[in-house]
Chains A and B, each alone.
Chain A
């Protein structure tokens, strides 16, 4: 298994509160990704990073921000959580110029 951990694994929060999810890798891969997974939509890309301090938006980036200050950590922040952001969030990693992505175990987020 690729060395990817996500924390927390489960979180319940209230609408309007800030939430930060962490992805940590031990593989030294250059690329890191945040996805959300919802019934009927499959996996949708939120943001991704192609290096330290280098990030870009995915298809569902509104309401989310990311930061990557170290190769091994990629943080996803919901500045003011909404009920529509209730979802399962997955982090993934890939090597430079390699198409294969490896996924973390996921974070289940419930926004009340």
Chain B
């Protein structure tokens, strides 16, 4: 099935550093979503993007819907230990399906 390419697969950073991750698709998407998953929990929605070029923030998190509609970026500024977890991108293509396509996740480790 259709998949998203999410990178990097993992990141090891020091507390206070900024983080950037991205997702790319081979097809045009109408919606991009970013989720965070803590160990033993379900994914939690962080940011939703609906328009090409849209830039949306949620606290220290900022996400952008790429102009080509085939990519999206998530940035975390001034990372803290509780940012640890797996970040997933997800998207819905322009075909109108109710189904989302998910990336395989970026595992973030923050060293105090």
Contact = CB atoms under 8 A, between A and B. Distances in A.
Nearest to A45: B99
A84 to B, nearest CB: 18
Interface string A96-111: 0001111111100000
Contact of B42 (A40, A99, A100, A106): A106
A104 B14 CA distance: 31
B98 A90 contact: no
A42 B103 contact: yes
A100 B33 contact: yes
B104 A41 contact: yes
B42 A50 contact: no
Given A42-B105, A99-B33, A104 B42 contact: yes
Contacts of B45: 100-102
Given A42-B105, A59-B1, A101 B44 contact: no
Given A42-B102, A94-B98, A99-B33, A106 B41 contact: yes
Q: Is the interface of A mostly helix, strand, loop or mixed?
A: strand
Among B42, B44, B104, which residue has the most Cβ atoms of chain A within 10 A? B42
A43 interface: yes
Contacts of B43: 43, 90, 103
Nearest to B29: A99
Contacts of B41: 105-106
Given A103-B42, A105-B42, A106-B41, A42 B98 contact: no
A31 interface: yes
A48 B98 contact: yes
B48 A42 contact: no
Nearest to B44: A103
A44 B88 CA distance: 13
B100 interface: yes
A18 interface: no
Interface of B: 1, 30-31, 33, 35, 40-45, 48, 50, 88, 90, 92, 98-100, 102-105
Given A50-B98, A94-B98, 17 more contacts: A4-B42, A31-B98, A40-B104, A43-B88, A43-B102, A44-B1, A45-B99, A48-B98, A48-B99, A58-B99, A90-B42, A99-B30, A99-B31, A99-B50, A99-B100, A103-B42, A104-B42
